[in-house]
Amino acid sequence: MSAPPRTPERTRILGVDVARALAILGMLAVHVGPTDVPGLLGRLYAAPYGRASLLFVLVAGVGVSLLASSRRADAGKVRWILGWRALLLLPAGLALQELDHGANVILQDYAVLFVLAIVLLPLPGRWLLALAAGAAALGPVAYLLGQARAPEVYTRAPTTLTDPVVDTVHGLVLSGPYPLLTLAAPFLFGMWLGRQDLGATLLQRRLAIAGWATAITAFLAARGLVALLGPPTTSDDPRFLVTSAAHGQMPLWLIGGTGAAVGVLGVALLVAARFPRATWPLASTGQLALTVYVGHLVLLHTASGIATSDRLLPAVLITLTLSALAVAVAAAWRSVADRGPLEVLLRPPPMRLPASSGAT
């Protein structure tokens, strides 16, 4: 299959699109089948659980910085694009959460991250790194304190379109499935990464090696510390801070999951740079991420009986089938069109500049 005849506005980094596609397909797998089956195959299938969303968020941060570095986008236009996307994704995500698909929708949390990006875009890279480290260290502590004081609130319950505004804001920022309190860490780190030369082979190799080394170290550290200190027993037990349970919002989960995301990004950049034609169908899927994401939620809502399974082997077959279908449709679409059907909505209307006044 040949590459598409044109690209929308600028040359894309295919490896970033490949990483985004892997995040989407990883979340699809988590939503289709069980993530608690023992054995090697069960652990491999469940590998995206708690990691795919962090990869999705990391790549979002990378994308924001790549957008800001585009020659066609000045600072005002970038803020306008991010603001438009936030205004679009917030109600869309809340509305999609109303469907009966059993998934925690992340689009409304993307909206909050884009607002954060609008505020922090002018900061130098060292400040983004410092804020990412602060979120990874202090965010989990704040989350644990909130969980200890109000366990009935910190239940990771998703927010919906019909929730009161106060509850919605609280869920998006503090207590929901993807709270800004902790997800700011991979997002800001992604913004910093997006300012680096992602086309450099040496950097790509370093990302792959350092990312996976960090993921393995965090996993082993959590296992060792829990074995040494014992597992937590109450909701306010400080030993929660050394656990790495998926979506537990604790530091070692954030560090390990972000490390795995960086490792995936590094490998994706290396492979896509070496084999651009072979990886183009997967990159196309990443370029249609919003369409594929919304499409799989609608499918789970309308046909959960055939699109999900509590048994591992059927879930693997369903996941492979849906993934292949998504890649094939995305590649076919991108061969004739610049943007996906929902990605078109992400392009805001033209900015209206104020008319000049006064005598000339």
The token duo for 359 is 């005598």
Amino acid 71: pLDDT: 65
DSSP string, 186-247: HHHHHHHHHTS-TT-HHHHHHHHHHHHHHHHHHHHHHHHHHHHH----STT-GGGGG---TT
Nearest to 47 by CA among 261, 213, 262: 261
Higher pLDDT, residue 164 or 6: 164
pLDDT at residue 350, rounded to an integer = 81
pLDDT for res 281: 97
Q: What is the DSSP letter of 345?
A: G
At residue 276 the predicted structure's pLDDT band, cuts being 50, 70 and 90, is: very high
> What does the pLDDT look like over 63-107, one tens digit per residue?
999 999 886 668 889 999 999 999 999 999 999 999 999 999 999
Cα(249)–Cα(136) distance, integer angstroms: 9
Residue 359's pLDDT band, with cuts at 50, 70 and 90, is: very low
In this prediction, residue 3 carries a pLDDT of 43
Model confidence at 8, pLDDT cuts 50, 70, 90, reads very low
For 33, the 3-state DSSP assignment is coil
Q: What is the pLDDT, as a whole number, of residue 114?
A: 98
Model-wide pTM > 0.85: yes
Report the pLDDT value the prediction gives residue 251, as an integer from 0 to 100: 96
d(CA 283, CA 48): 19
Residue whose structure tokens are 């609280």? 170
Which alpha helices (H) appear in the chain, and where do they start and end? Answer: 14-32, 40-45, 52-68, 75-96, 107-120, 125-149, 165-170, 180-194, 201-229, 251-274, 276-287, 289-302, 304-307, 312-334
Contact in structure between 225 and 232 (CB atoms under 8 Å) = no
What is the pLDDT confidence band of residue 4, given thresholds at 50, 70 and 90? very low
pLDDT of residue 329: 97
Instruction: Identify the pLDDT of residue 356.
Output: 43
